[in-house]
Amino acid sequence: MTTEQAAPETAAAQAIDVQGLRKSFGELEVLRGIDFSVARGEVVCVIGPSGSGKSTLLRCVNLLEEPSAGRVTVAGTEVTDPDVDIDLVRRRIGMVFQSFNLFPHLTALENLTIAQRRVLRRDRPEAERIARANLERVGLSDKASAYPAKLSGGQQQRVAIARALSMEPELMLFDEPTSALDPELVGDVLAVMRGLAQDGMTMLVVTHEMSFAREVADRVVFMDGGVIVEEGTPEQVVGAPQHERTRTFLARVLDPAAAEVSEVADTP
C-alpha cells in the first residue's frame, strides 16, 4: 500500500489531532506549540501541575477556548476552520467539567432529556428511554426524579456523565471530574469512567488521579509550562519517568508528605 493510500486510514483512526496549538491570554502564553493526537477507542490521561495548560488544551479541542494558532481536528473535522459548524461538531463530543453544571430546577431525568429534545429533536418518550438507560449505566436509576440539591457531589457528577452520554457522543472529554468531590465519593465516579473505557469510549481525561491513569489509560501525557514534557504508556510515564520535571511532580503527587519546607516555600 502506498503512503498516499495509507494516509486516509491513518487520519480516520484519529479522534483528535492537534498540530502546533498555541493559546495566549494577553501576554501570557498558556500553550506553546502542542502536537498531540488521540486514536479512536484510546484513553489518554493528561497530568501535570496547576497552570500547566491541561484544561486549556481540553477546552481548545471543542473550541470553548479559541486557539491563538495551530490546527485542531476532531473526528475528521477541523474545528479551527473559520467556516466550521462548531455546534454540529460538539454534538459528537461529550464534556464533563469540574463543576457539575446541572440545572438546579430540573430533576436528574429532565437534566438528561432537555438537550436531547432541543438539540437532537428527539420526542419525549425516546429521550426519556435513553436517559433512563444512561442513569442505570452510572448506577443512578433510582434517582431519576431527584433534584440536584438532593444528590451528593459524586451523584451529581455521575448525572453529568449520564447527561453527556445521552447525546451519544463519539468521544468524551473530562476536565478533572473528581477534583470538586469529597475523597470518599471519588471512587464512584472513577468506576463509571472505568466502565466507559472498558466499553471502548474514546476519552481524553485531565486528572490528578494517578491510580486511574495507571490502571485505565492507554497513554499518559505530562504537561508543564504549556508544553508536553513527556508521554508514553502509564508504565513509562508514571512508573519510570525519564524527565526530571516529571519525576519531581510525581514524587510530590504520590507522596505529598515528603515535600521539604524549602520546596513548599517555592511553590506558587
Q: Do 226 and 48 touch, CB atoms closer than 8 A?
A: no
Q: What is the pTM of this model?
A: 0.90
Average pLDDT of every residue of the chain: 91
The whole-number pLDDT of residue 260 equals 58
What's the mean pLDDT in 48-58?
95
pLDDT band at 265 (very low <50, low <70, confident <90, very high): very low
Tell me what the mean pLDDT of segment 209-232 comes to.
96
Q: Where are the beta strands (DSSP E) in the chain?
A: 14-25, 28-39, 43-47, 69-74, 77-78, 93-96, 171-175, 202-206, 219-224, 227-232
Instruction: Please check whether the domain covering 40-59+85-254 is classified as CATH 3.50.50.60.
Output: no
- CB of 229 closer than 8 Å to CB of 223: yes
Cα 175 to chain centroid distance, Å, stands at: 5
The residue extents of the domains of the chain are: 40-59+85-254
Mean pLDDT, residues 154-164 taken together: 97
Q: What is the phi/psi pair of residue 133, to 5°? A: -65, -40
Q: Name the pLDDT band for 256 (thresholds 50, 70, 90).
A: confident
